[in-house]
Amino acid sequence: MKASLKLREDGAAPLLRAKLPVALFSVPAVASLTAGDPADLRLSLATAVPALPSLRISYAPNRPSSPLSLALVLGSGPGGCPSPAAASAITMAAEVSAAGAVSFSLVLKPSLGDFAVRKRFDSAGSAPTSAAAAASGSEVTMRSSIPVRGGAAAVSVRWGVRIPAEVTAGGEDGAAALALRRLPFLVLGKIAVERQPPPPPASRAMAQEETSVEKTRRENERLRKDLDEQRAAATDKMTSASTVAAAAGRRSSGWRSPEMAGDRKAVDAGR
């Protein structure tokens, strides 16, 4: 799940978006809610099949012409996939309402790491034969992400240096001049909270391999301990056998210790 809050100018209410992954007849999809001003209220359901464009159906109850619309969204991902949106440098959408009005939008967003340049073009009309185009000012954005709750979620903040599109012409004595009505300025454009998926559990094969390795290690420890015990017992037996053999050899050769020889002489003298 992902929720975002986009700050807007000219006194407009912040734009709130919430997205939730769902399954539509075993097809991955995303359900979204957009709210802000009454005209911004919108419910959408869009497919999210990898390597395919997205098909989106929307319901906007406060739209004056028609609340229902169908849109085809293309991106620069594999096969025209627009997701993930942060990785798509170009996103194009063609939307048709139930009343027959057609609108087009084009978003250019080349990025390098957390930095991106964003510009949007919109074309809309009340009928398929009449349309009006509008372009937004360019914006250089930077994205900062902060993990929360031990990595279970992430809060991302989008900063932007906005370059206004307003340019006026005029001057004294009819001399033409170009002047920017406003200088570029820093804005806080968007705050998003996204739940991060848990790390994938170890596969059964990996778990079995780890169990086998641990079992082998314990078996090796037991064999090494038994080998040390058998080696110590063999050493003790060899020492005892050497001692017994030496004593038996001395007895068979008639050897007497000095103490035994003195006792023998004393016995002979008594006789």
Beta bridge partners of 19: 2, 32
Amino acid at 102: V
Three state DSSP letters for 24-68:
ECCEEEEEEEEECCHHHCEEEEEECCCCCCEEEEEECCCCCCCCE
Question: CA nearest 23: which of 45, 44, 4?
Answer: 45
* Three-class SS state of 216: helix
Structural contact between residues 125 and 102, judged by C-beta atoms closer than 8 angstroms: yes
DSSP code for 110: -
Question: CA nearest 109: which of 78, 85, 144?
Answer: 85
**Given this model, what pLDDT does residue 208 score?**
73
Separation of alpha carbons 170 and 42, rounded Å: 42
Domain spans in the chain, listed from the N-terminal domain onward: 2-142, 204-270
Helix (H) or strand (E) holding 75: strand 68-75
- Kindly report the pTM of this predicted structure: 0.63
Structural contact between residues 90 and 77, judged by C-beta atoms closer than 8 angstroms: no
**Given this model, what pLDDT does residue 47 score?**
94
**Given this model, what pLDDT does residue 31 score?**
95
Residue with tokens 């050769």: 253
Give me the half-sphere count of Cα atoms (radius 13 Å) on the Cβ side of residue 179: 7
**Given this model, what pLDDT does residue 271 score?**
55
Q: What is the pLDDT along the chain (271 residues), one digit of tens a residue?
A: 889 998 887 778 899 999 999 998 889 999 999 999 998 999 999 999 988 999 999 999 998 888 999 999 998 888 888 876 546 788 999 999 998 889 999 998 888 878 888 888 988 755 444 445 677 667 788 888 888 877 788 898 988 877 666 544 444 444 444 455 566 777 788 899 988 877 666 566 676 777 888 888 888 888 888 888 888 888 888 887 777 777 666 666 555 555 555 555 554 555 5
